Amino acid sequence: MRREMLSRRKTISLDERDKISRVLVEKFLSAEIYRASKVIMAYASTPEEIQLEKLFVECLADGKILAIPLIVGKGEMQAVIVPNMESLEVGAFNIMTVKKDCRKIIEPAQIDCVIVPGAAFDVNGNRLGLGGGFYDRFLPRAVNAVKVAFAYDFQVVDDLPTEIHDAKVDIVITAAD
């Protein structure tokens, strides 16, 4: 299923991806969870994912503390604060990261909301990740965070097979909502 979903993501045109990304980010920005959150962690988008640059800009403009993942080992990540858009640079796998001299780690328990990537989600909040286990290890430590997924409509299915270590999400936002 992971392979199928990731393959389907690649078939979405850039225009359609950008349109859907704008819709999902706007939905999130108008939601109570955004207004109530002081510290938001979001993934740095790969080309096929929902694009979050507008969310980054809005978080910073609204005085939120924005964090993104920093890979620190096999399957391990930390949350690093994004002080401003100029502190970002292209890192491993062509994914944006915070420049080394600007990095400041924030503890997972301080995060109010985490925007979580994934290959698929189900109606019960189960998540099929991208295969590295990074979020399955990180999310249990973000004990105070609401976990939110932005998904293309086709990424939401009725039921996903899960294992005990799989981290769930609380909310899935799609264009169809």
Look up the pTM and report it. 0.93
Residue 66: closest CA among 27, 114, 26: 114
DSSP-assigned letter for residue 108: G
* pLDDT tens column, 50-82: 999 999 999 999 999 999 999 888 889 999 999
DSSP string computed for 31-73: SHHHHH-SEEEEPPPPTTSPP-HHHHHHHHHTT-EEEEEEEEE
User: 3-class DSSP state for residue 117?
Assistant: coil
Torsion sign (Cα): 43, 44, 45, 50: positive
Looking at this protein, which amino acid is placed at residue 127? R
* pLDDT tens column, 3-58: 888 888 999 999 999 999 999 999 999 999 999 999 999 999 988 899 999 999 99
**CATH number 3.40.50.10420 is the correct assignment for the domain at 2-173:** yes
Sequence ranges of the domains in the chain: 2-173
